[in-house]
Structures are given as structure tokens and as C-alpha cells.
Homo-oligomer: A and B are copies of this chain.
Amino acid sequence: MKLHIAVLPGDGIGPEVTSQAVKVLKAIAMEFGHIFTFEYGLIGGAAIKKSGTALPEETLSICKKADTILFGAIGEPKYNFDPDAKVRPEQGLLKLRKELDLFANIRPVIAYEDLLNHSPLKNKCIKDTDIIIYRELSAGIYYGDKTLSEDGQSASDVCQYNRFEIERIAHLAFKAAQSRQRKLTLVDKANVLASSRLWRKVIMEMAPQYPNVTLDFYYIDNAAMQLILNPRQFDVILTENMFGDILSEEASVIVGSIGLLASASLGPKYAMFEPIHGAYSKATDKGIANPIASILSATMLLDHFGLLDEASLIRKAIKKSLKLHITTPDLNTKYDNISTSKVGDFIEDFINHPE
């Protein structure tokens, strides 16, 4: 298969982890006889530095003409402490998602047997957890109108949803549930928010189309508790943009490290794959960033194009690396000198010479 892949490494540890994912994709292409080509674009803080904008036109056009997109991370600490900054790295990612109409962010949360001890949760509580979170990505409060009063004394954000935005991701989530344990949990705050009540109403109206899926509902505050108390109760979680952001980052504690969580962002035309960890600037260029989330993103990319054997070979390599403690320091209790690129090298080697 020929795939032209736009690569947006972004900020912080984005470039170092993304380069490991690219390395792995190249090994896969070689091993399976595919032709993968890569074209790089600037985004976020790196783009602001060069062009004054977080998403240059050129980057957008690279993405639009590619078959798919591999994304790194975004964000620079200096902007966090400047509440008045006019341009922000995060705008690049938000604008990209909007421009490409990436409305569904899909995040698997799996408790790896070899990593149970890394979780702050008791093994028996998380063992066999296998959740997939469907987070709406194109609307809600992150995109709603924002105001700051002229005197700077008051500010507001609007959370807005319409039926179409809810239905299109809900169909994906219902279908995912059908192919899994047939359980869908909607997370909202319908006892207080009008937008949440619309979510609940739309989902309840859709439910009869998926009669074999058991549907239940949690408020976000309760869900944040239940996800830790009893994660195995969940199969597919469907939720709006900000609640999905919160729950999926929280869910990383089940996996043992946020450095292991990958995601796919899908739209009607484009698909983008990215780790859920952010730029984690403190770790930049130290060789300690965990590349697994980025490599797993590449795996989701391969799945998306039906390259299932290829994806499963990478997953096998990752499991092997975990078993042998070929991991970065966030996960390593045995060796303290396994760098980001060493992990990538191991996985590359495994692909070249699988046992």
C-alpha cells in the first residue's frame, strides 16, 4: 500500500517521540513491502516562532493532501503563565481539528498485564480493564464563543452542541459497542446543563436503532469517581469534548503511564493519530520521553487503513518491550538508562526480526 503521511511533530517531546513512530512505520513498510512517504509540517509553538501563527497555511495544505496525519504534541510553558498572550500553541491543534472536521477522538484504555504494578490502583481493581473512550472533538466549550469584558474584569465561554454534532459521534460509539461488549455509557451533566440534556435526549432517541447495546448514563462527577472505583464496568464511554479530555487523562492511571495512551481523531474525510500526552516540556531533549503512545498512534493509523497484521506486529513488539523492561524511566524499575530512541530501536529490531 502507498501512504503519504503528514507528520506534525509539534512542541516539547513531540518531535522525539514522533521520530520513533516514523522509524517504526518505516520498518513496517520495509518488512511488508509498502511505500510510506512522510512530509513534515510546523504547528504550535514551533510554528509561532517561525511564522507568528500556530497553524500556518502550508501545514494545513500538507495535511489536506496527505492520506493521513501523524501528530506529536503541542504547548509551551511560557504561554501558560501569560494570560494575555494573543497567539497560543493550542490554537494550532484546535484550528487543525476544526479545519479537518475531526469530530471524534477515540482513546483506548487497556490495562497491560506487565504494567499492573505501575498503576497507583490495586491490581485487582484494574486487571482486564479494556475501555474505549469516544470524545466529541469539534464542538463544546473549547470551541464556543469566548469573551473578556473591556475592563478585563469578567470573562466567559460558551458550551454549545447541536443534534448533528452529537449524532455523528454517537453512531460511531454505538457501532464500536456492537463490536465489543455491547455496553455504552453516556457521560454528561444532564441534571444541570442544557447542552447535556440535549446529549441525553439525542442518545435516548438513537438507542432503539442499536437494540443489542445496553445504554447507561453517568454524570461527569460520578463518572470521574466510577472510573477509578470500578473501571471494568465500562466498555465504550461516549462524552462531550471537555468531559472526554478530563476522563481520558484520568484514565491514564489505569494504564500506568500517560506515556502509553494513543488516540485517533476521525472526520468524514481526514484521520489524525496522536499520543494523548502533551508536550511535557520539562522532559524535552532528555531522552526520557516515552515513545510508546506515539508508536501506538502509528498502530491505530495502520488499523485505520486495514493493515491489521502490521499493527498487530507492532503491538506484539510493544508487549515484548514491556516484558523485557526495555522502557523509558517512567515505567522502568529495573534499568535506568533506556532512552526514547532505544525503545524505538528495540521495536524496529523486533519488526525486522520477529521471533
Contacts and interface: CB of A to CB of B under 8 A. Distances in A.
A144 interface: yes
A120 B229 contact: yes
Contacts of A79: 191
A153 B160 contact: no
Interface stretch (A15-23, A215-223, A297-305): A215-223
Contact of A191 (B75, B149, B190, B200): B75
A148 B152 CA distance: 29
Given A191-B79, A225-B253, A253-B228, A159 B147 contact: no
A159 B153 CA distance: 14
Contacts of A204: 81, 83
Nearest to A244: B221
A80 B158 CA distance: 23
The interface size bin for chain A is: 35 or more
A189 interface: yes
A246 B188 CA distance: 12
A3 to B, nearest CB: 31
A147 to B, nearest CB: 6
A204 to B, nearest CB: 7
Contact of A80 (B75, B83, B121, B217): B217
A157 interface: yes
Interface string A141-182: 110101111001111111111111000000000000000000
Given A120-B228, A200-B83, A191 B221 contact: no
Given A158-B157, A253-B229, A194 B246 contact: no
- Number of copies of this chain that the complex holds: 2
Interface string A252-289: 11000010000000000000000000000000000000
Contact of A192 (B90, B164, B193, B246): B90
Nearest to A231: B120
Contact of A157 (B84, B162, B193, B228): B193
Contact of A153 (B121, B162, B189): B162
Interface of A: 75, 79-81, 83-84, 88, 90, 94, 120-122, 125, 141-142, 144, 146-149, 152-164, 189-195, 197-198, 200-201, 204, 217, 220-222, 224-225, 228-230, 242, 245-250, 252-253, 258
